[in-house]
Amino acid sequence: MIFKCIVVEDEDALRNDLMNELSKFSEIEIIGEAKSVDEAYNIISVKKPDVVFLDVKIIGGTGLSVLERLMYNHLPIPFIIMTTAYKEYAPDAINLFSQYNIKYFLKEELAANWHSQLRSAIDSLISIALTKNSDDTMEQNFLFLPKAKENVKVYFDDILWISTYGDSRGGLEIFTNTEKYTIDYTLDKLFEVLPKSTFLKIHRRYGINKYKVSKLDSKKQSASVFILRGEIIKRLDIGVTFIDEVLKHFPVIK
């Protein structure tokens, strides 16, 4: 299995080193390089690679903006292996394009051990490509969230509810049974990532995992859901404009 590859990196020395190291792997065929958002978008849209090694911060913007342009223009998005010098920039790209992202590397870690790091990435690429070829309905069932300066895997099934905090324009708290994660997202932005079959927006400030609801209180002009977290039951009121749509997901047999 051979993957056509493009390398997007704005540091000339690092880009050359990465291309040189990748050329040592028989599974990789390098078909292009870029160092800016515009260059990356143009070469990816024309050459349609199988995989892109994509720097998070590049000339003219971010690697994420390249992927967003491809998506906006209905162009195919290749598998992505992210590289970054700034760990805090990785979650956006990982989460928003999780179905395409294979791995991400900190540049200093990658440069410290080229062969083993790239071997690991290519092995993951082969595994995912084989799985995708055999099952194009494969769905991502997790995302990565920041916790104590690390990015940890959180499965969708473990999320109980999401609520905004502070300025409603941004900032979310994501609750599981044992953890609370704080991210700089809007609720609308996060719901682009979450599976619609599992998560519901019940208020402009709340979203829930509908399978975690243990009790429903429904009246003519108001409604609430209750979710058990440990030994505590959390009540979340459903917004008036959301009630009719939300209640469709919780049929009551009388």
The predicted structure's pLDDT at residue 206: 94
Is the predicted pLDDT of residue 170 greater than 80, yes or no?
no
**What is the three-state SS of the chain?**
CCEEEEEECCCHHHHHHHHHHHCCCCCEEEEEEECEHHHHHHHHHHHCCCEEEEECEEECEEHHHHHHHHHHCCCCCCEEEEEECCHHHHHHHHHHCCCCEEEEEEHHHHHHCHHHHHHHHHHHHHHHHHHHHHCCCCCCCEEEEEECCEEEEEEHHHCCEEEECCCCCCCEEEECCCCEEEECCCHHHHHCCCCCCCEEEEECCEEEEHHHEEEEEECCCCEEEEEEECCEEEEEECCHHHHHHHHCCCCCCC
Does residue 252 form part of some domain?
Answer: no
pLDDT band per the 50, 70, 90 thresholds, residue 75: confident
Does residue 222 form part of some domain?
Answer: yes
Comparing 242 with 125, the larger pLDDT belongs to 242
Least confident among 9-23, 91-105, 150-164: 91-105
- Tally of domains in the chain: 2
Residue span of the structural domain in which 120 resides = 3-134
Mean pLDDT of 124-146: 70
Q: pTM surpassing 0.85?
A: no
The predicted structure's pLDDT at residue 199: 95
CATH number, residue 182: 2.40.50.1020
Of 76, 103, 134, the domain-final residue: 134
Is the predicted pLDDT of residue 109 greater than 80, yes or no?
no
Question: In this structure, are 13 and 118 located in the same domain?
Answer: yes
Of 93, 108, 134, the domain-final residue: 134
Question: In this structure, are 182 and 237 located in the same domain?
Answer: yes
pLDDT band per the 50, 70, 90 thresholds, residue 90: low
Is the predicted pLDDT of residue 169 greater than 90, yes or no?
no
The predicted structure's pLDDT at residue 96: 65
Question: In this structure, are 67 and 153 located in the same domain?
Answer: no
Question: In this structure, are 163 and 76 located in the same domain?
Answer: no
Least confident among 86-90, 133-137, 209-213: 133-137
Question: In this structure, are 99 and 50 located in the same domain?
Answer: yes
The predicted structure's pLDDT at residue 39: 95
Is the predicted pLDDT of residue 6 greater than 90, yes or no?
yes
Does residue 182 form part of some domain?
Answer: yes
Is the predicted pLDDT of residue 155 greater than 60, yes or no?
yes
Question: In this structure, are 21 and 107 located in the same domain?
Answer: yes
Does residue 253 form part of some domain?
Answer: no
Does residue 118 form part of some domain?
Answer: yes
